[in-house]
Chains A and B, each alone.
Chain A
């Protein structure tokens, strides 16, 4: 894969929602491209529309107008079923609140995307992934028996198990203390590096943002490119 091909390409995407007080435009028309293998941080104040944008890029939500091409596929023209298939094939997720299925064990949570994708070696892959995040001894534990950091490691293992082309993370360290946050970050960037995954993450943490190759700033529904001066390579710091 080359850095020159676009993993994501958006053209004037907007999001308008109807509330009881009338229509509300959360996103002003946004256009930008993300290259394959790139790591992009979206930063901005609370309520500025970061998560909304992430949801649209990841195909969890439908744009009100504009176009999104994700790895060559026209996301804006797809229905929920088609988007679900696309997510299953190409996208991985990590969330602030981990979003593990409470009634599945750590191992089974990791297996889930692989199973959904119909991979026959789901269990084997999951065991490996669990080892990679250093939790092989906790495979049979349920999420509520794990600490926040451990849960997020499980989530990372789950995100990578299908070798997605692109990974979305919404405040992946938001619920964690500094030490655990650091661990998660390192894991994330290591895997990103190893697998050449495109990484798009939303964060308040400027240090984390700084580890990305590129930063985009959200401000009242408007997206602007932030200077890349803060970029420093911390990839091998952990």
Chain B
């Protein structure tokens, strides 16, 4: 496009005047809206994600972790430091801790002074005490130990504890380590010591299986670069690299799901933006038929007309992007500061990506979606100055839809890099459009029938809808798409937050007790109840060794612990906890075979196996499993495979046998109870009569988990709020734009003396009808989109949402109807000559 001074000055003048006269408001608003919503959403979610990543980094105590079986070459660490990364070292091994002639297996962690790079260590002066954040670490010669060690070994602060060859002084109780893991029973109790003491213990011999972990923190790109440097030198047998991003804990999954939700929301914002721009551009084009015809009549070449209008669109886009950028940043900043105390978002952080995306979206949307309306505009013949009914000559609306659909799809894909989400949204959108086209055709047919009746408001509305059905189809589609997108984000958020909450309902047990003897049961229950604490179900447990499958001896030991710290390669040398019951545990589902409960005893005892362990050990239905319990041998046939929800905070078992098979063993019992964090002090009193019972404290873990889930839910709500605002504005813009098209008709009706009431009623009815049809169709499309999204992207249980089949049409009718009524009222407040004059 060659731009000469004349077309530049002409389009600039047109732009200035039209902007001042409010002619450009709708399209400008659409661009502002698109840029603002995309910017605020993606900026906000970028910040949230970094806040959440930071939060999950706490569970690694770092951003990245290099694990090794042996010390790594010091150059590797120097290289990291040189690249500006923070480095910390941590050694971890299992070793016996001795005190008072008692001993207990402990999870020994020797850390250097940089530890932890992320998160905080929490300690207390008393075991199971209220956690206090500290920045210090055990001095050489000191250890901080887990609460359970105090209990089992009968030690107090200041007492001695031996690890290997070295004696330490116990100076604190460790309540919580950031990288403590999410294991239900917390693994073995922790002994935290200074790294400089490790050598003196002499426990790191060849057979000790010491882990050498190197923690790194810093800027994401620097970390990725560092990994690139490290990668060729790593040996997969010895080393492994972990990032917060491949966190597969329940928490990690929640955060990932939230991230996907943000992505989805931003995508929807882009689509909303595109829809509103398409609507506005159409209106813009229609309003410029006359000027184009006039300019052509006066001798303007097609090229000149093109230049003038493309330049004008460019000016509008530039202005829209500028205003949208400011508004979007402001909105986002406002929201971020509102929730800053709940979610630790960094207010001063700056991200370029959202800005680039927003500007790009604004440009692409404005250009692509105004392309077709502009092409139509350019085709307006000069003869229109004589024959007023002549419009643009280009037909095919399907070309417009195809181009628009493709553009939206490419935008979504480019932005998300996620083909599945983009394809799902596009497919559902397309289906919706096709369905709406059919409905439109139906309306035309229906309108023809109704046309004969007397002219009431109702007939007037129907007549208008069907007469302009094709014109209205764009509007109907944009209403429906908008409503559908809003439904998707709304329902998605409901389902997601609900599932998170279900994971950790109020009163989730936060303490576990094991080693309860049969004789203690009634007394314990009584004692707790008297102090207002309800004890959950007791599970009998016998420790057994899983010895053979179909009499084939196995070398690998199976452990019950789904230790999130385990990396699969650690041989879990512990015995399995065997339980028995005829009752299927809550949150367990049989996925293969039949639950043995209640069935008549067969010739062989039956056992139910947890699915993951079955897969890992290749246990099949019908296999015969052998367990060694003490000197006894128990054999059982696998008759069911269970899926267990590990995310519930309740005891879960790999193997559940039939009670009669275990009748001769005297078990100990496991149970759990809930105690509010504030009442922690009660613990000592609760546990006092039962010194042999071991207590596991997962309160801190649960609180951590809950606070993250709360923050994520909160963030999701705000995103939802943002998208709802954007969607509402889009609806407003759409109604405004369509009002404009109706103006002429209203003016004529008014001139012909139609009563205001009749006009109003007919317009409101028209919008109500369009709104409810759009709402209903949107509810259906939403159902499909949700099903696909939840099953294909979010890995959630999908369900039907019948309430929205009713709600969506109602709300659609209500909102669109009210918006229509408002703009209609405004129009009718002008007197007829004003109206006619505005129309020209």
Q: Which residues of A contact B (CB under 8 A)?
A: 51, 54-55, 60-61, 80-81, 84-89, 91, 93, 95, 97, 99-105, 108, 112-113, 115-118, 142-144, 158, 170
Contacts and interface: CB of A to CB of B under 8 A. Distances in A.
Contact of A170 (B23, B290, B293, B386): B386
B304 A116 contact: yes
B837 to A, nearest CB: 6
A84 B291 contact: no
Contacts of B17: 103-105, 108, 142
B555 interface: no
Interface string B161-192: 00000000000000000000000000000000
Interface of B: 6, 9-10, 13-14, 17-18, 21, 23, 290-291, 293-302, 304, 381-383, 385-388, 837-838, 840
Most chain A CB atoms below 10 A, which of B300, B387, B837? B300
Contact of B300 (A55, A84, A97): A84
Nearest to B291: A101
Most chain B CB atoms below 10 A, which of A54, A89, A112? A112
Contacts of A89: 299
Contact of A117 (B14, B291, B299): B299
A176 to B, nearest CB: 16
A80 B293 CA distance: 12
A103 B21 contact: yes
B14 A104 contact: yes
Nearest to B16: A103
B725 to A, nearest CB: 31
A104 B6 CA distance: 15
A188 B840 CA distance: 24
Contacts, number: 95
Given A116-B295, A170-B386, A108 B302 contact: no
Contact of B382 (A84, A105, A142): A84
Given A85-B299, A91-B299, 15 more contacts: A55-B383, A60-B381, A60-B385, A61-B381, A81-B301, A87-B299, A93-B385, A99-B297, A101-B294, A102-B290, A102-B840, A112-B298, A116-B6, A116-B295, A158-B298
A81 to B, nearest CB: 6
Contacts of B300: 84, 88, 116
A43 to B, nearest CB: 17
A113 B299 CA distance: 7
A58 to B, nearest CB: 8
Contacts of A80: 302, 381-382
B821 to A, nearest CB: 27
A144 B838 CA distance: 8
Most chain A CB atoms below 10 A, which of B290, B294, B295, B837? B294
15 contacts: A54-B386, A55-B383, A80-B381, A80-B382, A84-B302, A87-B297, A88-B300, A95-B385, A101-B294, A102-B291, A103-B23, A104-B13, A115-B10, A116-B6, A116-B295
Contacts of A142: 17, 21
A89 to B, nearest CB: 7
B13 A84 contact: no
A51 B301 contact: no
Contacts of B301: 81, 84-85
B294 A144 contact: no
Given A87-B297, A117-B299, A118-B6, A60 B840 contact: no
A116 B299 contact: yes
Contact of A51 (B18, B21, B386): B386
Contacts of A108: 13, 17
B772 to A, nearest CB: 34
A100 B298 CA distance: 11
Most chain A CB atoms below 10 A, which of B10, B296, B297, B381? B297
A51 B388 CA distance: 12
A99 B837 CA distance: 13
A101 B295 CA distance: 9
Contacts of A170: 386
Most chain B CB atoms below 10 A, which of A86, A105, A115? A115
Nearest to B382: A60
Nearest to A83: B382
Contact of B298 (A51, A93, A97, A103): A93
A171 to B, nearest CB: 10
A103 B18 contact: yes
Contacts of A55: 383, 386-387
B386 A144 contact: no
Given A102-B290, A103-B21, A142-B21, A112 B297 contact: no
Contacts of A85: 299, 301
A44 to B, nearest CB: 15
Contacts of B6: 115-116, 118
B23 to A, nearest CB: 6
A88 B386 contact: no
A54 B17 CA distance: 32
Contacts of A144: 837-838, 840
Contacts of A112: 10, 294-295, 298
B298 A60 contact: no
A87 B298 contact: yes
Contacts of A91: 299
